[in-house]
Amino acid sequence: MSRLILSRRKLIGAGAAGAGSLLLSGCDKLFENPAFRQTLEGAENLHRVTQRALGRDALAAEFSAAEMSPVFRANGSREVADPGYRRHLAQGFAGWSLRVDGLVDRPTDLPLAAIKAFPQRTQITRHDCVEGWSAIGQWTGPRLGALLDLARLHPQARYVVFHCADLYLGRPYYESIDLVDAFHPQTILAWAMNGKPLEEAHGAPLRLRVERQLGYKHAKFVTRIEAVAALEGIHGGKGGYWEDNGAYAWYAGI
């Protein structure tokens, strides 16, 4: 619980992005708070505002081991062609590291061993793909919030961008979430699935699990996490591969 409170403080410190959490703390003076009003007015769509009001800190359902899907389909990129990635894969990701940078005090490179040394969370959740299939699987990894705390976000940081090693249909895959989702207790960087290191098809060596959102937000093959104040400067500017390609919304809450 103390970590959650710490995260909330951080969010509040980060300004408008913390408004969702503040609302849930029952602060009814919020509508008089300019940062909060700005967040509401700047919200991309009503859906996002509604999700905030309904409680974006709420937990996604978790399941028992008996409920795990016997087959968990792989979707989108199942392989990565990049030669650097192929080399790391062949070496069991021994020399691989995750870059955490952007609007942070301490840009950091984290080898897999360091990622596994954080407190770990294991959760059995349902993955819902926008294409109409779901599967229940078990995921293990550190909370994204713990990595961001280590790197120390600047107060201007409002989004976290996930850069991936793959090209999907020839274009780099990437995704982004706001700080409410980034510090959600079930938002983890998973290196294990169903008790084993991630297979390539599922995003080895590290993929995002952001359990309150649809499947395409769960970036696989993550190589770099970048904290930013705005999404405009990143690739097509809409915050993700499918968002830029006109197909799906940036906020995909479920």
Ligand X SMILES: Nc1nc2c(c(=O)[nH]1)N[C@H]1C(S)=C(S)[C@@H](COP(=O)(O)O)O[C@H]1N2
**Region from 38-46, 63-71, 74-82, 174-182 binding Mo ion, contact rule CB under 5 A:** 74-82
Beta-strand runs (E) in the chain:
97-102, 108-111, 120-128, 134-142, 159-168, 171-178, 188-190, 192-193, 196-197, 207-209, 222-228
Query: According to CB under 6 A, which one of 173, 191, 250, 251 is a site residue for ligand X?
Result: 173
Query: According to CB under 5 A, which one of 18, 102, 145, 215 is a site residue for Mo ion?
Result: 215
Q: Which helix (H) or strand (E) holds 112?
A: helix 112-117
Closer of 153 and 177 to ligand X (Cβ): 177
**Closest of 251, 217, 241 to residue 129, by C-alpha:** 217
Binding to ligand X by CB under 6 A, coded x per residue (else -) over 96-135, reads ---------------------------------x------
State the nearest-atom distance from the C-beta of 137 to ligand X, in Å: 8
User: How many angstroms separate the Cα of 45 from the Cα of each of 41, 42, 55, 167?
Assistant: 9, 9, 16, 29
Cis peptide before 205 (omega within 30 of 0): yes
Binders of ligand X in range 205-234 (CB under 6 A)? 215-216, 218-221
Q: State yes or no: residue 168 binds ligand X (CB under 6 A).
A: yes
Instruction: List the end-to-end C-alpha distance of the chain, in Å, as a whole number.
Output: 24
Q: State yes or no: residue 74 binds Mo ion (CB under 5 A).
A: no
d(CA 162, CA 164): 6
Binding to ligand X by CB under 6 A, coded x per residue (else -) over 67-96, reads ------xxxxx-------------------
Q: Which helix (H) or strand (E) holds 199?
A: none
Residues that bind Mo ion (CB under 5 A): 75, 129, 215-216
Residues that bind ligand X (CB under 6 A): 73-77, 129, 164, 166, 168, 173, 201-203, 215-216, 218-221
